[in-house]
């Protein structure tokens, strides 16, 4: 195809000429129009739909502040803590950059959890958006890895011992566990080698993967179109212009919508950064303002708040609780055989897997610590299977039976409870509550193929419900 440059009038503005020069060599305007300018989105979006753009904003904040932090940070076990103090005390505005980065980490997870909540409410992971959810789930895994590795870098007491505890968990894996832990640490204990490899992954490897996944997430979203609070496919009802009749251009309508959300977020974000950056020890633990000491273990070691729901599941897995898990496996396999329409070979595979797990949980089998790691990992991985677990005839919670909403509320309460208990020192009462919440957490997902189809559903309208405001 021959190169063609659009002819503009001689008196055209310089900006228009420059843009035309770029467009003839790179599809800048086309990319803008395809991804946002002429991208049509359902007209009934509500406030739940601002969290995607907020996540992009926080990602930019984290990258920019991270670049400035790396300019002064020393990835050396003897210098790391002092370099962070140097940033806080001597680098001009260094304290602000550090607090923006640490607050941004917590803000990122708050926004992502709310973004995932919206997906649960309106079925945004359902067909044809399964791949969008898979990409989003991969982003969530990358964020967890990024946060964990970045957590070690200040080289404070909680950083050091938190990393020690989490890496040692891999040692519970049979046969390969000790070698795997050694490989992750790069030494027999968390040391300078661990700090250097975590720094490399935190600054280079994971951000590159994360940016690629974000791009894939957005491309997949704009390929199939956005979901909406009614869970209706607006592309099935096109107007004479070829665009869905129940959609509007993202720009300027949702540009203004998102700018308002960004403004509110920045006000809250700034208030936290300037007035409560530690957030009572939840965003920055007080023990992390003490240099790492391998000879002095803190009285209570806990990860940052955004990991604590899953950490609680790990702590709740005791040898006594394994009997409850075994009973649950027997009940679940029976339910699959009696009520599932899965092929016989799949049912047999589930039964064999359940039997192997029960044998492994026996007193003569693998220790409870290993099964704690299994449940810890499963509690995260099960989120990725959500598009195939939810079999509801209606995507949106609006048209499901009212008791589905109560189930979602109970799940949310149990998740928050697990998060709170993961921060608290262990006690017999908290252990029991954690175990109950763990059962609720897994039951919500594993029983979803059945409960999501039960009850009387409301009729789903042909067009989205919308009232001007």
DSSP 236: G
Q: Whats the size of the chain, residue-wise? A: 469
Are residues 317 and 218 both part of a single domain? no
List, for residues 387-408, the tens digit of each pLDDT value.
999 999 999 999 999 999 999 9
**Residue pLDDT, tens place only, 162-199:** 899 889 888 888 888 899 999 999 988 899 999 999 99
Q: Is residue 17 part of a domain?
A: no
Q: Is 278 found in the same domain as 330?
A: no
Is 257 assigned to a binding site?
no
Task: Check pLDDT > 80 for residue 2.
Answer: no
Q: Give the Cα separation of 146 and 189 in Å (integer).
A: 21
> Do 112 and 255 sit in the same domain of this protein?
yes
Distance (Å, whole) CA 128 – CA 173: 37
pLDDT at 51 over 70: yes
243 is in an annotated binding site: no
- Domain range for residue 150? 33-289
pLDDT of residue 469: 58
Return d(Cα 231, Cα 45) in angstroms, integer: 11
Give the model's pLDDT for residue 15. Answer: 87
51 assigned to some structural domain: yes
CB 454 within 8 A of CB 401: yes
Is 304 part of any domain?
no
Q: Within a domain: residue 302?
A: no
Query: Across residues 126-132, what is the average pLDDT?
Result: 94
Q: Kindly report the pTM of this predicted structure.
A: 0.94
Question: Do 275 and 414 fall into the same domain?
Answer: no
Q: Region 325-347: what's the mean pLDDT? A: 91
Question: How confident is the prediction for the chain on average, in pLDDT?
Answer: 92
The phi, psi pair for 291, rounded to 5°, reads -60, 145
Instruction: Please tell me the predicted confidence (pLDDT) of residue 468.
Output: 66
132-136, 164-168, 328-332, 451-455: the lowest-pLDDT one: 164-168
Whether residue 428 sits in one domain with residue 336: yes
Is 72 marked as a binding-site residue?
no
Would you say 101 is a known binding-site residue? yes
Same domain, 52 and 146: yes
Total domain count for the chain? 2
Band of residue 365 on the pLDDT scale cut at 50, 70, 90: confident
Residue 14: pLDDT band with limits 50, 70, 90: confident
């Amino acid at each position: 195809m021959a190169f063609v440059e659009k002819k503009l009038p001689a008196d055209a503005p310089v900006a228009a000429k420059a843009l035309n020069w770029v467009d003839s060599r790179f599809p800048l305007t086309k990319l803008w129009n395809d991804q946002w300018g002429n991208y049509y989105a359902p007209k009934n979006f509500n406030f739940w739909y601002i969290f995607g753009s907020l996540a992009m904003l926080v990602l930019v904040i984290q990258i920019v502040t991270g670049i400035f932090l790396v300019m002064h940070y020393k990835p050396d076990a003897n210098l790391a803590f002092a370099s962070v103090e140097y940033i806080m005390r001597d680098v001009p505005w260094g304290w602000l950059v550090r607090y923006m980065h640490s607050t941004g980490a917590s803000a990122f997870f708050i926004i992502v959890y709310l973004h995932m909540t919206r997906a649960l409410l309106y079925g945004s992971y359902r067909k044809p958006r399964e791949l969008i959810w898979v990409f989003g789930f991969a982003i969530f895994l990358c964020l967890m890895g990024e946060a964990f590795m970045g957590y070690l870098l200040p080289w404070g007491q909680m950083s050091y011992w938190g990393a020690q505890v989490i890496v040692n968990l891999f040692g519970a894996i049979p046969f390969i566990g000790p070698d795997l832990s050694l490989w992750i640490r790069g030494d027999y204990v968390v040391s300078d080698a661990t700090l250097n490899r975590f720094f490399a992954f935190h600054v280079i490897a994971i951000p590159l993967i994360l940016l690629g996944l974000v791009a894939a997430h957005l491309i997949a979203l704009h390929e199939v179109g956005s979901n909406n609070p009614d869970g209706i496919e607006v592309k099935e009802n096109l107007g004479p212009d070829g665009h869905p009749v129940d959609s509007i251009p993202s720009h300027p309508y949702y540009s203004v919508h998102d700018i308002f959300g960004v403004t509110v977020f920045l006000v809250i974000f700034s208030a936290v950064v300037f007035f409560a950056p530690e957030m009572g020890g939840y965003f920055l633990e007080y023990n992390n303002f003490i240099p790492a000491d391998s000879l002095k273990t803190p009285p209570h070691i806990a990860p940052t708040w955004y990991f604590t729901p899953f950490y609680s599941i790990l702590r709740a897995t005791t040898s006594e609780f394994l009997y409850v898990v075994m009973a649950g496996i027997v009940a679940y396999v029976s339910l699959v055989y009696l009520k599932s329409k899965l092929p016989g070979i799949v049912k047999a595979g589930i039964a064999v897997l359940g039997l192997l797990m029960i044998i492994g949980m026996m007193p003569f089998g693998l220790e409870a610590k290993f099964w704690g790691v299994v449940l810890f990992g499963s509690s995260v991985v099960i989120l990725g299977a959500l598009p195939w677990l939810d079999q509801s005839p209606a995507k949106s919670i609006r048209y499901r039976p009212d008791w589905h909403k109560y189930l979602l509320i109970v799940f949310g309460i149990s998740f928050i409870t697990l998060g709170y208990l993961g921060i608290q020192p262990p006690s017999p009462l908290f252990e029991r509550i954690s175990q109950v919440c763990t059962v609720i957490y897994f039951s919500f997902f594993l029983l979803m193929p059945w409960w999501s189809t039960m009850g009387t559903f409301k009729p789903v309208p042909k067009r989205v419900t919308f009232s001007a405001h």
